[in-house]
Amino acid sequence: MKEFNPTLAKEIFIEGGRLVDPENKLDFQANILIRNGKISAIGSEIKAEGCEILDASGCVVFPGMFDMHAHLREPGREDQETIQSGCAAAIAGGFTGLCTMPDTNPVTDSRSLVDFIKSEAEKTMVDVSPVAAITKGRKGEELAEMAELVESGVVAFSDAPRSVAHTNLLRNALDYARMFNVPIIEVCEDAELAAHGLMNEGAMSTRLGVHGIPGIAEDIIVSRNIHLAEYTGTPMHLAKISRKKSVELMRQAKKQGIKVTCDVTPHHCLLTENDLANYDTNFKVKPPLRTQADVNAIIEGLIDGTIDAIATDHAPFSPEEKQVEILVAPFGSTGLETAFPALFTHLVRTSRLSFEHLLEKMIAAPRKILNLEVPQLRKGNNANLCIWDLSAFRTVVPDEFYSRSRNSIFLTATMYGVIKAVINKKHIWNA
């Protein structure tokens, strides 16, 4: 794990960068002057006077991204990740904001746990938004104290990485969530149908001789959740959809005006079940990697707006847990440090997705779903931005991670996009 050393950003002059801000409809070359954590001026004529100068020539400057699905493990599994190390990984990946999932130990289902997470997050450069459990202990039996949790500052509710199995209980949760104006985030998998499965059910699982997870395990829950959102009138966000059928169901629901949104992970945009051919446990994720037809449908969904956001599903595990037989290895991959370079390399540089589309899915869209303020490159706003050299490339190696864990699905991959600096919360980190 690399050492993370941010410093106070008093007066910073960012010189010569290409400023891109889809929300603010900006795309031009200019300088940025930052004083006391705020953008003091933007323009090509402004000059540095006694400031720290950041040479952004040949680089792109855009607002910090937001990951709405990260497992930071603290409290309970600090050997895998801590709030501090997870937030360092986030900054190293250009994320200035993220949501923590509630699968901590103990579960994030009480005010005291939310207060702890917020307190630890204050020590970082990241704007951390806790997500609390829908049910007590994530057991799917009794609703958590939702009113108290909203008062404590949670931005959404989820039993991730599980779905709420009992439909009537989820309906009640949606009714409460509507009262508090917070979304429900549902992971779409029927646990009984998916039980014992290790990868996508199909020709590849048969060839490898392992139990498959049938696609219908996702389809059924996606369909149920859309119907519940329509019935209750409560916004629901479907996390990590991975199938062509799910994209089609979401497209139809949106045409009908149902209040549903969804996200996908970088790996489901780029990889397929064939990547598991060598039994590499870093490719064992939930939902499982699907087919090329599913990947193509996901990219089409990103282009036409059916899919709202991209989330990393950052899921760190220790080497002892991942470097075992595929039958017993846990599902999950880290993602905060590799998400943007992977997507930029394989979608933007190949002209499958526009740069502006990618940024919108990773900056504004997740924050809007959660009713959070969207950072903009605008005079008077808080400085919340990252600087990338998109012409430079690097190979993903574990020794360069800021995360405590090394289980990356993109290990050894070469990617374009090298981060140079991040500014947020009146601090600067230079890579």
Instruction: Give Cβ neighbours of residue 61 (< 8 Å, ≥ 6 apart).
Output: 14, 17, 18, 19, 20, 32, 377, 385, 386, 387
Cα(152)–Cα(144) distance, integer angstroms: 13
Contact 155, 372 (CB under 8 A): yes
**C-alpha of 263 from chain center:** 9
The one-character DSSP state at 399 is G
Instruction: Give Cβ neighbours of residue 95 (< 8 Å, ≥ 6 apart).
Output: 64, 65, 66, 67, 126, 336, 339
Instruction: Give Cβ neighbours of residue 77 (< 8 Å, ≥ 6 apart).
Output: 104, 105
| Amino acid letter for position 8 | L
263 is catalytic: no
Instruction: Give Cβ neighbours of residue 370 (< 8 Å, ≥ 6 apart).
Output: 68, 99, 129, 155, 156, 183
* Catalytic option among 27, 263, 313, 399: 313
- What SS3 class is residue 231? helix
| Amino acid letter for position 299 | I
Six-digit token string for 388: 């990338």
Contact 315, 160 (CB under 8 A): no
| Integer angstrom CA distances of residue 58 from 195, 261, 391, 420 | 50, 35, 8, 11
Cα(56)–Cα(235) distance, integer angstroms: 40
Element (H, E) at 35: strand 26-35
Query: Which are the catalytic amino acids?
Result: 313
